[in-house]
Amino acid sequence: MPTESRHLTVSIQRPAGQVYAYARDPAHLPAWAAGLAAGIRRERGEWVADSPMGRVLVRFVPVNEYGVLDHDVVLPDGTVTTNPVRVLADGEDSEVVFTLRRRPGTTDEAFAADAAAIRADLDTLKRVLETD
């Protein structure tokens, strides 16, 4: 059975290359991703963050020319959550698209809360980039 997905987007009045470069740097995550606001650091070649779920690993796909910011979050129990993210050019501006996938067993309320948290993070990313 296919996974239920929700596409959350934000338009940012900055060129796609600038948005991509900022958002793909894990060191910037605490400035706009509330779940990682406690900080992120390099440990033994991996990005490690303290999150509300505990110590997590964050692994981005390699730098690419297509605006792909997919990243895995490895939870403390070893569960891997893949987060598809794209930065799309929109003229001189950009659009960021985050695909939220519903994990098995997630209630409607929890799925809505995840979507709201991602929406808030995208709004923060917009605010950070548009005020720089």
pLDDT tens digits, residue range 67-98? 999 999 999 999 999 999 999 999 999 999 99
Asked if residue 109 has pLDDT above 70, the reply is: yes
Asked if residue 2 has pLDDT above 70, the reply is: no
* pLDDT bucket at 6, cuts 50 / 70 / 90: very high
pLDDT score of 50 = 85
pLDDT score of 38 = 79
Asked if residue 132 has pLDDT above 70, the reply is: no
Q: Report which DSSP code applies to 35.
A: G
pLDDT score of 35 = 79
CATH code of the domain containing 122: 3.30.530.20
* Domain extent at residue 78: 5-131
Spatial separation of the C-alpha atoms in residues 68 and 61, rounded to whole Å: 8
Question: Cβ neighbours of residue 84 under 8 Å, at least 6 residues apart?
Answer: 70, 98, 99, 101
Taking CA atoms, 71 is separated from 44, 74, 106, in Å, by 18, 10, 20
Please state the domain count of the chain.
1
Q: Which of 98-102, 103-107, 125-129 is predicted least confidently?
A: 103-107
pLDDT by residue (tens digit) across 9-49?
Answer: 999 999 999 999 999 999 999 999 987 777 899 999 999 99
Q: What is the pTM of this model?
A: 0.91
Asked if residue 1 has pLDDT above 80, the reply is: no
